[in-house]
């Protein structure tokens, strides 16, 4: 009875274990995962591309491929970005990738900064179940566009009608944006047409952009933008510049810009005229204080001189005018330059108040009175009815004749005066200096003389620089003597005139500057002497004397 009870109890225990096991096993099958992704991602690799970080032509042929460990590659997705940007970085609504079934392609990359720009190329595989390679293959390189596209103007003309109703058509060739060399008349037009080309192998022009001075931004952008025209109102006076650029398939633009520029409104004209003619006859002359009409540039004797000159102005007849008989001038202005040529300076232009339109006017202002020693240039210009000032006409007056040299000599060891300068001579003089007790060269004793007397009837034969039209008695006030570039300023001339005496130190060092260079017996050494004289009016004459020095045994 105990055994059976145990057996029954044991049987119940076994049955309970079996049931528990069954329940446990049944529970495991219900909790088994059902979302396990058995599809492995594909891999992508680039098989042909420019070397990493190198410079490459902007037309780049790229090669790539991929593999899928548990399936097939369905297609690829690629992206090209500028510099180090990631795909879609600049396009929030687009991931930046494009789809393709190819494993290679020729890419035309932008290279417009101005001709070089870095790029990243990304490519990733997509398998037959739509899984995308999570680690795209990529490479970085720099695209280079070797040539800027060019623009050729096929038509470039200005068209206008002048004051006599005659039409003008001129070719426009000016290429400077800020300083045009072409001009058209008031109320005129310009017409332009162009084409473009790209010298890069396989390159092409894809559009044009242009801008005139009236535009703040470039216009156009397509291949159809190949012409432009503009007409100006009759009250416009100024400049205009038109800029056009071709755009190539790399995004590069013409550099430098292709330009056509022009001035609208010709300059009005001012003329120095003959004061003795009833009609305005151009003649650069002035009238001196003795009533003689002199050509521009005439030199007068020293003193406080007074001059006058006649002037006339009119608008350029190539401009349109409602009344062809109207001179079209609204003002004159002048400028006075003074000093000694070529260094002249003076105040800015000042307007002339006392003038009459359509008549010959005389310039008799105080600025043309009391002209003492020096050079004076008067510039006269006119203004048209649109406010444009023209280029000036000029007249030059010179006061005070320059002094001139009559002798440059040296004193030889015997105390005899020998010529160091021969007027009109072609060969340098050879000087023979003295020696001291040690056989070293003594200073070279030089004498120079200039005079400042001038005769209109019998000019001195050495006064060959300027024609003398009036007598003048002057005086040399100072001399300056330099040898081989030595230092030395002007010194007061000897009292009562006469030559100046200088003792120029000598040396046997042939490389020494600022001294007379001599050598031991055997051959002469080249030297040069610069002498200047200044008269009491401040006018200077310079003379350069080449000479040689030799020592004889």
Domains of the chain, earliest start first: 43-144 (2.60.40.10), 150-264 (2.60.40.10), 269-399 (2.60.40), 404-549 (no CATH)
Q: How many CB atoms lie within 10 A of CB 515?
A: 20
215 Cβ neighbours under 8 A, 6+ residues apart: none
Secondary structure (3-state) at 30 = helix
pLDDT at 117: 73
pLDDT at 19: 40
Strand partners, 300: 399
Of the candidates 449, 358, 338, 462, the residue with the CA atom closest to the CA atom of residue 398: 338
pLDDT at 115: 61
Q: In this structure, what token pair is assigned to residue 415? A: 């105390």
Strand partners, 310: 273, 362
Length of the chain: 553
Strands (E), 39-136: 43-48, 55-57, 59-67, 73-82, 98-100, 104-108, 116-127
> How far is Cα 525 from Cα 492, in angstroms, rounded to an integer?
31
pLDDT at 176: 96
> How far is Cα 362 from Cα 65, in angstroms, rounded to an integer?
92
Residue showing tokens 């009409």? 293
pLDDT at 114: 61
The tens-digit pLDDT sequence of the chain (553 residues) is 333 333 333 444 333 434 444 444 444 444 555 567 788 999 999 998 888 777 777 788 999 999 999 999 999 999 988 877 888 888 888 988 999 999 999 888 777 666 667 888 999 999 999 999 999 999 888 887 778 899 999 999 999 999 999 999 999 999 999 999 999 999 999 999 999 999 888 889 999 999 999 899 999 999 999 999 999 999 999 999 999 999 998 888 999 999 999 999 999 999 999 999 999 999 999 999 999 999 999 999 999 999 999 999 999 999 998 888 889 999 999 999 999 999 999 999 999 999 998 999 999 999 999 999 999 999 999 999 999 999 999 999 999 999 999 999 999 888 999 999 999 888 899 888 877 877 788 899 999 999 999 999 988 888 877 889 999 999 999 998 888 888 777 777 776 667 888 888 888 877 777 888 887 555 677 889 999 999 999 999 999 999 988 765 5
Q: What is the DSSP letter of 282?
A: B
Residue showing tokens 């119940």? 12
Of the candidates 328, 335, 296, the residue with the CA atom closest to the CA atom of residue 313: 328
Burial 310-348 (b: 16+ CB within 10 A, else e): bbbbbbbebbbbeeeeebbbbbbbbbbbbebeeeeeeee
pTM above 0.75, yes or no: no
pLDDT at 495: 62
């Amino acid at each position: 009875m105990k055994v059976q009870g145990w057996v029954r109890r044991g049987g119940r225990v076994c049955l309970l274990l079996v049931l528990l096991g069954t329940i446990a096993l049944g529970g495991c099958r219900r909790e088994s995962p059902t979302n396990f992704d058995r599809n492995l991602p594909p891999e992508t690799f680039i098989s042909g591309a420019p070397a990493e970080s190198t410079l490459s032509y902007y037309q780049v042929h790229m090669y790539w491929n991929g593999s899928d460990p548990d399936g097939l590659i369905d297609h690829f997705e690629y992206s090209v970005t500028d510099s180090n940007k990631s795909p879609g970085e600049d396009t929030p609504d687009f991931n930046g990738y494009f789809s393709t079934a190819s494993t290679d392609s020729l890419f035309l990359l932008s290279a417009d900064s101005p001709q070089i720009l870095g790029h990243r190329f990304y490519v990733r595989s997509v398998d037959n179940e739509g899984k995308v390679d999570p680690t795209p293959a990529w490479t970085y390189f720099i695209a280079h566009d070797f040539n800027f596209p060019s623009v050729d103007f096929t038509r470039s003309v200005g068209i206008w009608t002048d004051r006599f109703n005659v039409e003008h058509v001129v070719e426009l060739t000016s290429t400077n944006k800020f300083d045009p060399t072409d001009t058209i008349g008031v109320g005129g037009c310009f017409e332009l047409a162009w084409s473009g080309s790209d010298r890069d192998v396989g390159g092409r022009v894809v559009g044009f952009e242009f801008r005139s001075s009236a535009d703040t931004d470039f216009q156009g952008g397509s291949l159809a933008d190949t012409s432009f025209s503009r007409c100006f109102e009759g009250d416009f006076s100024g400049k205009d510049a038109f800029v056009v650029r071709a755009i190539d398939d790399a995004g590069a633009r013409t550099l430098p810009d292709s330009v056509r520029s022009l001035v609208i409104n010709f300059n009005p004209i001012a003329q120095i005229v003959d004061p003795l003619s009833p009609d305005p006859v151009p003649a650069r002359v002035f009238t001196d204080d003795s009533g003689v009409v002199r050509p521009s540039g005439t030199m007068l004797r020293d003193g406080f001189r007074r001059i006058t000159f006649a002037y006339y102005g009119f608008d350029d007849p190539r401009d349109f005018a409602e009344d062809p008989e109207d001179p079209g001038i609204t003002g004159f202005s002048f400028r006075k330059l003074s000093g000694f040529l070529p260094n002249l300076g003076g105040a800015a232009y000042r307007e002339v108040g006392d003038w009459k339109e359509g008549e010959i006017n005389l310039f008799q202002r105080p600025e043309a009175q009391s002209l003492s020693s020096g050079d004076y240039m008067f510039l006269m210009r006119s203004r048209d009815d649109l406010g444009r000032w023209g280029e000036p006409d000029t007249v030059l007056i010179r006061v005070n004749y320059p002094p001139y040299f009559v002798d440059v000599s040296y004193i030889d060891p015997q105390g005899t005066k020998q010529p160091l300068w021969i007027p009109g001579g072609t060969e340098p003089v050879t000087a023979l200096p003295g020696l001291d007790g040690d056989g070293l060269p003594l200073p070279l004793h030089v004498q120079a003389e200039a005079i400042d007397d001038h005769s209109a009837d019998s000019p001195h034969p050495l006064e060959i620089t300027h024609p003398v039209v009036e007598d003048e008695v002057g005086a040399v006030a100072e001399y300056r003597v330099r040898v081989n570039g030595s230092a030395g300023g002007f010194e007061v001339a000897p009292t009562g005139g006469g030559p100046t005496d200088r003792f120029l130190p000598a040396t046997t060092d042939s490389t020494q500057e600022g001294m007379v260079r001599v050598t031991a017996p055997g051959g002469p050494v080249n030297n040069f002497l610069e002498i200047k004289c200044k008269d009491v009016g401040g006018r200077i004459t310079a003379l350069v004397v080449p000479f040689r020095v030799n020592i004889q045994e």
